[in-house]
Amino acid sequence: MVHSGSCHTRDPRKMFLCRTLLFFVVTLLCAGLAAPVQAQERYDDSKPREKFQIRVGGYYQRDIKTTLRIDSTSVNLGSFLELEDNLDVDSELSVLRVDGFYRFNPRHRIDWTWYVSNREGLTTLEEDLEIGDQIFPAGASVESELKSSLLKIGYSWSFINVRKYEFYLGGGLNFNDFSFRFVGQTGTEIFVEDEGVVFPLPTVNFGGRYNFTEKTQLSARWELFDLAYGDYEGRLQEVTLTLEHNTFNHIGFGGALSSFLTQLEIDDDDWRGELERSHNGVQLFMKFYY
């Protein structure tokens, strides 16, 4: 039983509400630690500590939940699939992740993120499933392969940026590439369904950082997208908390906690259906900066 006010829930929307509230609490704490900002103190004379940064490390995704519906080219609706439960697709994995930024000056910078996730599953169906134009009968052995990649490019404007702390607003594009392959077999009969979709999602973001010491900083970031346009309707939320340490000149280490949710509904000539994917993430990285 889930009590109100608890973040221990399997509902992605409730989880993100809790994590969004946590994000704002952390941001407010950072703001409270900082001295009051006067209008003339939005920027100081300190040069940015890091003009360029690139982070490379492992990204562990856990509690992955993927709900998928691929409709046929006729009027029929496909089956709703919870891939981790229905098709025994992996619910966790570790991938290489690359993040970074280039700061033009204390006010403006460009950010980027890239990683690729591939998962597989193998199960025997207990009931018929309709995926796209293909019906997979009960008793069929189904092998699933899911591939996804994410490339994020964005711009951030630091409306406050002093030696001790920073707050920024920004926007960008998240390029998502999802592909699915399902292969079923009963005796000598083989059933195959391949689908894929590539879509850019424009996002807005808000975040900040607080420097505990000259080498240690905590940052928080919230990205959001929610838009319906033509045949597409999409939503995205991601909350990230990052702790970094500039251990050596130009080399540092850190870790991050994140929570991710994306939802997509498409109704065009190439692909009809729905996709919802969420996961929690833990990242450990080495960073190079100057």
pLDDT tens-digit map of 87-112: 999 999 999 999 999 999 999 999 99
Q: What is the mean pLDDT of residues 197-223?
A: 91
Q: What is the mean pLDDT of residues 171-179?
A: 92
Is the pLDDT reported for residue 46 higher than 90?
A: no
252 pLDDT band, cuts 50/70/90, is very high
Q: What is the mean pLDDT of residues 158-184?
A: 93
Q: What pLDDT shows up at residue 39?
A: 45
Q: Give the separation between CA 123 and CA 142, rounded to whole angstroms.
A: 6
Q: What pLDDT shows up at residue 50?
A: 93
Provide the token pair at 253.
């280490």
**Higher per-residue confidence, 288 vs 176:** 288
Is the pLDDT reported for residue 289 higher than 70?
A: yes
Is the pLDDT reported for residue 271 higher than 80?
A: no
**Higher per-residue confidence, 31 vs 55:** 55
Q: Are strands 108-124 and 93-105 parallel, antiparallel or unpaired?
A: antiparallel
**Higher per-residue confidence, 49 vs 92:** 92
- CB-based burial of residue 143 (10 Å sphere; 0-12 exposed, 13-18 middle, 19+ buried)? middle
CA 201 to chain centre: 12
Q: Which of 188, 90, 92, 81 is nearest to 126 (CA)?
A: 81
Q: Give the separation between CA 218 and CA 191, rounded to whole angstroms.
A: 50
5 pLDDT band, cuts 50/70/90, is very low
Q: What is the mean pLDDT of residues 240-254?
A: 97
**Higher per-residue confidence, 283 vs 235:** 283
Is the pLDDT reported for residue 36 higher than 80?
A: no
Q: What is the mean pLDDT of residues 125-150?
A: 93
Q: What pLDDT shows up at residue 8?
A: 47
* 12-34+48-119+148-177+201-289 fold: Lipocalin (2.40.128)
Domain boundaries, the chain: 12-34+48-119+148-177+201-289
Q: Give the least confident one: 43-57, 81-95, 192-206.
A: 192-206
> In sequence order, what DSSP letters do the residues of the chain get, joined into one string?
-PPTT----S-HHHHHHHHHHHHHHHHHHHHHHSPPPPGGGSB-SPPPS-SEEEEEEEEEEEEEEEEEEE--SSSPPPPPEEHHHHS-B-S-EEEEEEEEEEEEETTEEEEEEEEEEEEEEEEE-SS-EEETTEEE-TT-EEEEEEEEEEEEEEEEEEEEE-SSEEEEEEEEEEEEEEEEEEEEEETTEEEEEEEEEEEEEEEEEEEEEEESSSSEEEEEEEEEEEEEETTEEEEEEEEEEEEEEEEETTEEEEEEEEEEEEEEEEESSS-EEEEEEEEEEEEEEEEEE-
Task: Indicate the average pLDDT of the chain.
Answer: 86
Q: Give the separation between CA 212 and CA 48, rounded to whole angstroms.
A: 16
Is the pLDDT reported for residue 201 higher than 50?
A: yes
Please tell me the pTM assigned to this model.
0.86
